[in-house]
Amino acid sequence: MGMEDSSSSSGSSHRRVVSATSDADDGTPRASSPSASSTVAQILMLLESDDPNLRVQAAKDIRRLTKTSQRYRRHFAGAVGPLVDMLHCGCADANEAALAAILNLAVKDDTNKINIIHAGALKPIICFLQSENVTLQEYAAAALITLSASSVNKPIITASGAIPFLVDILRNGGSQARTDAVLALYNLSTHPDNLSLILQTEPIPPLISLLNSSKRSSKTAEKCTALIESLVSFDEGRRMLTSEEGGILAVVEVLESGSLLSREHAVGALLKMCQSDRSKYREPILREGVIPGLLELTVQGTAKSQLKAQSLLKLLRDSPYPRSELQPDTLENIVCNIMSQIDGEDQTGKARQMLSEMVKVSMEQSLRHLQQRALVCTPADLPINSCSSEVPSK
């Protein structure tokens, strides 16, 4: 699905541009008041002025009035053309003022979104993505989030060549620009055929980098994992994720501590990988300690997460060895013994039992590992008393 106007949740640059959605309460005329029409007419007249300073001020007024008022966004629809013209001038102040006003006009207004693209805003916006001016770069990425929320605009934005520039920002942009870029890429990824185009830009390494630098419960992490889940539908996406150092681990960590939706995307990504080639991806996934998080998801995730977690556990539990050859205290055997009952009525109790046993086994395995390390220590290797044969009490 498309992400409608994600700018409201993606950070500081959006707070500078877009605020709440109620009508203005800062003393400005309400859009339905008699003085509103006069205000709109005056500002539109200034926007057509020969004085560049007056045009910049008019753009700032439009930005202010449309920040919180859907009605003003409709009333200022006629400002789209002049504002787009301002994007083509060489003045950074004018570019910033016009782009901020355009972004606000597009919020929650599909007609304005489409008209902005048709008026020729896309070419300068993409140029701003490459600008060394950080503010312009952030505004441009934020504008693409909102404009790409329109299904009509998605193929036009893609055809303009925006995807490689967004991925480049994902690699090299500032913190806010990178966040905006991933939200715009997510919007574009929901259009048919765009995923293969995104995949060609090798986006997974910068996605993992952004994921590792974001809070696991953030909107940024949610869209990163959503993109990863979509990209691992392709063999090349799976290859990139497994070859990226810490790639699978980053997804597992979101599965453990992300938002409900992020966890759903994370388990979905790992499930797709295992379903595509269980023998190839089972061990890399198990190696990152995914089992406890999966067990928790079976009772605490969304309905989709629960089903996906159960399916993935069943794929991970299968062993190439006969059950009789498994040691009774291995993680493999515990999952085998209990997962067969997970579909029963008392799912919460069974999951808690599994978690308890998994923790117990993990502790016992850690203790055995410490004992084995202690056995290889010798007085010749280490100072006296530096190697103890004692282990912590259970």
Residue 323's pLDDT is what? 38
What are the E-state strand segments in the chain? none
Ramachandran quadrant class, 177 (left: phi over 0; alpha: psi -120 to 50; beta: rest): alpha
pLDDT over 90 (residue 377): no
Domains in the chain (CATH in brackets) are 1-185 (1.25.10.10)
pLDDT, tens digit (0-9, with 9 covering 90-100), for 133-153: 999 999 999 999 999 999 999
Whole-prediction pTM value?
0.75
337 pLDDT band, cuts 50/70/90, is low
The tokens for 126 are 């993409």
Query: In 173-231, where does DSSP find H-type helix?
Result: 175-189, 194-199, 204-212, 219-231
pLDDT one-digit tens code per residue, 165-206: 999 999 999 999 999 999 999 999 999 889 999 999 999 999
Q: At what angle do helices 247-257 and 278-287 cross, to 10 degrees?
A: 70
pLDDT at 370: 47
Position 390 scores a pLDDT of 34
pLDDT at 91 over 70: yes
Task: Give the CA dihedral 366, 372, 374, 379, nearest 10 degrees.
Answer: -160
Listed range (36-40, 213-217, 276-280, 352-356) with the worst mean pLDDT: 352-356
φ/ψ (deg, to 5) at 190: -80, -5
| DSSP reduced 3-state for 195 | helix
Tell me which of 164 and 34 has the higher pLDDT. Answer: 164
The amino acid at 246: G
Please tell me the distance from the alpha carbon of residue 367 to that of residue 116, in angstroms, as a whole number.
Answer: 64
Of the two residues 386 and 134, the one the predictor is more confident about is 134
* Residues whose CB is less than 8 angstroms from the CB of residue 341 and which lie 6 or more positions away in sequence, other chains included: 350
8 Å CB contact between 52 and 60: no
pLDDT exceeds 50 at position 238: yes
User: Rounded to an integer, what distance in angstroms lies between the CA atom of residue 10 and that of residue 380?
Assistant: 58
How far is Cα 82 from Cα 47, in angstroms, rounded to an integer? 7
Q: Would you say the C-alpha torsion 67, 73, 75, 80 has a positive or negative sign?
A: positive
Which two three-digit tokens encode residue 333? 């055997």
> What is the pLDDT at residue 299?
87
Q: What does DSSP assign to residue 7?
A: G
